[in-house]
Amino acid sequence: GENVEQHPSTLSVQEGDSAVIKCTYSDSASNYFPWYKQELGKRPQLIIDIRSNVGEKKDQRIAVTLNKTAKHFSLHITETQPEDSAVYFCAASLYAGNMLTFGGGTRLMVKP
Amino acid sequence: DADVTQTPRNRITKTGKRIMLECSQTKGHDRMYWYRQDPGLGLQLIYYSFDVKDINKGEISDGYSVSRQAQAKFSLSLESAIPNQTALYFCATSDFGLAGDTQYFGPGTRLTVL
């Protein structure tokens, strides 16, 4: 089955700096890669996703890149703000709508 | 996301009690999931259902059972609760369509087993 590894497990950045979280996956058949943000005690919420037919996707300060050959994908947050502090999960799936395999999560702390 | 609701939101129970957690969705999605999250840890899949007649075990199904009463309802039961089942439980839904749609999570149920 699919295995997703996520690094780092914790990340502390200064407000305004960039943050990068990386994930690797094992199943070359995976084609859908969402990222979720979970604030303390709240539900995970989708912030961005990417399908295998594109290499990069941006949404304001957030971007995701995908390298299918190397089987890794990354989340980039620019100009970080304190409200970006949360746990971020990457995931992989054969296709959107199918079961997700989650990474272990990254706790991002943005210091004012 | 108000389209996926869970009841109760918080529950304290005692060891050995049977408890049911309920999930309802108005998104019209076919697929539903139950996850468990321990403090500071990731999401573990307990059970999933791709339609009313299709129910499958996830990675940590021991001690749990589920019922898919309708497309919109998926319940998780703990037959005899034990303290190490204390956790945050999430229901999620997804859609298998032409484009497919990612998983949307309910607000969670915080369960404490004393």
- Mean pLDDT (chain A) is 95
Best CA proximity match to B34, nearest among A23, B26, B25: B25
Q: How confident is the model at residue B82 (pLDDT cuts 50, 70, 90)?
A: very high
Model pLDDT, residue A79: 98
Percentage of chain A lying above the pLDDT 70 cut: 100
Residues B92/B107, Cβ–Cβ less than 8 Å: no
**Mean per-residue pLDDT, B5-32:** 96
Instruction: Please name the residues in contact with A15: beta carbons below 8 A apart, sequence gap of 6 or more.
Output: A80, A81, A82, A110, A111, A112
Model pLDDT, residue A48: 96
Best CA proximity match to B101, nearest among A51, A29, A59, A2: A51
B99: chain A residues, CB-CB within 8 Å: 96
A102 Cβ under 8 Å from any chain B Cβ = yes
- Mean pLDDT (chain B) is 93
Instruction: Please name the residues in contact with B31: beta carbons below 8 A apart, sequence gap of 6 or more.
Output: A97, B48, B49, B50, B51, B93, B94, B95, B96
pLDDT in tens, A50-90: 998 889 999 999 999 999 999 999 999 999 999 999 999 99
Mutation for testing the B interface, residue in A43, A51, A88, A95 having most B CBs under 10 Å: A43
pLDDT in tens, A34-49: 999 999 989 999 999 9
Q: Residue B83 phi/psi, 5° resolution?
A: -55, -35
The CA-atom distances, in angstroms, between A99 and each of A8, A25, A85, B17 are: 24, 14, 27, 31
Best CA proximity match to A97, nearest among B29, B4, B39: B29
Return the DSSP state at A103.
Answer: -
Interface contact flag, A43 B99, Cβ < 8 Å: no
Instruction: Please name the residues in contact with B10: beta carbons below 8 A apart, sequence gap of 6 or more.
Output: B109, B110, B111
- Count CA atoms closer than 13 A to B110's CA, side-chain side: 6
